[in-house]
Amino acid sequence: MSEETPRRVEFFFDVASPYSYLASTRIEEICTRHAAGLVWRPILMAGLMKDLGITPPIQIPAKLTYMSRDLQRWAEHLGVPFNVPKQFPLNSLPVMRGCVEARNHEKAAAFAKAAFHAYWVEGRKIDEPAVLHELAEEADIHPRHLLDHVVDHEVKEQLRRETREAADRGVFGVPTFILGGEELFWGNDRLFFVEKALAGQTTKRVLAG
């Protein structure tokens, strides 16, 4: 991709993923601190896992039990609010289509953050049209327009295509971060490597310049 710069972070996420939520609370600050651009890339985790033959972690009971404790510890560690929603897991298809449509209006970050917060903090039923309507308002997108477009063939196809493209680039789970168009990091717990890599690039630039 010709427009790639080494100081660009692509953030692949699905609102249904709690570790994506945790990452979403930190990614902007990290990119700002390291003067890196940020691209929000909505993808459909369920579709990705199915295509790659990966068993979703929540299908392993021991993993699911562990995850809820692990997430609680992370939230405390990061000082962010977190509540496992009553309605879990979430069918994130409508809201991820909403993220794609929001991005078409350059509101990707605002809409995604509103959705993450609504689901992982407030436990709202974000797969319902009435709630999507509220999220659109929170992100300053015309709600009717968003609701019309989440059922739009083009938006559906766009989410499918971008999920496939992510898989082609080596993405196999969320959250994933791709730096400079090629260096891939998987997991909220790898943001610390992302930061190291961003800091390393800065050093190199200083040395080169």
Positions touching another protein (CB under 8 A) are 52-55, 59-63, 65-66, 69-70, 73, 77, 167, 170-173, 184-187, 189-190, 193, 196
Return d(Cα 134, Cα 127) in angstroms, integer: 12
For residues 67 and 73, give the distance between their C-alpha atoms in angstroms, rounded to a whole number: 10
**Least Å from the CB of residue 66 to another protein:** 6
- In the complex, the smallest distance separating the C-beta of residue 186 from another protein, rounded to whole angstroms, is 6
Q: Which is nearer to another protein, 12 or 119 (CB)?
A: 12
Q: Phi and psi of 183, rounded to 5°?
A: -85, 120
The smaller minimum CB distance to another protein, of residues 82 and 193, is found at: 193
* Complex with another protein: residue 59 or 91, whichever CB lies closer: 59
Q: Which is nearer to another protein, 89 or 123 (CB)?
A: 89
User: What is the Cα–Cα distance from 34 to 161, expressed in whole angstroms?
Assistant: 30
CB contact burial 130-158 (16+ within 10 A = b; e otherwise)? ebbebbbebbebebeebbebbeeeebeeb
Q: How far apart are CA 147 and CA 149, in angstroms?
A: 5
Find all residues with CB under 8 Å of 31, minimum gap 6, and list them. 9, 37, 38, 198
Q: How far is the CB of 150 from another protein (least distance, A)?
A: 28
Of 129 and 200, which CB lies nearer to another protein in the complex structure? 200
Rounded Cα distance between 140 and 127, Å, is 19
**Closest distance of CB 93 from another protein, Å:** 22
Helix locations, the chain, DSSP H: 18-24, 27-33, 45-52, 61-78, 93-104, 108-120, 129-138, 143-150, 153-168, 191-208
CB 170, min distance to another protein, A? 6
Q: How far is the CB of 183 from another protein (least distance, A)?
A: 8
Cβ proximity to another protein, 68 vs 87, nearer residue: 68
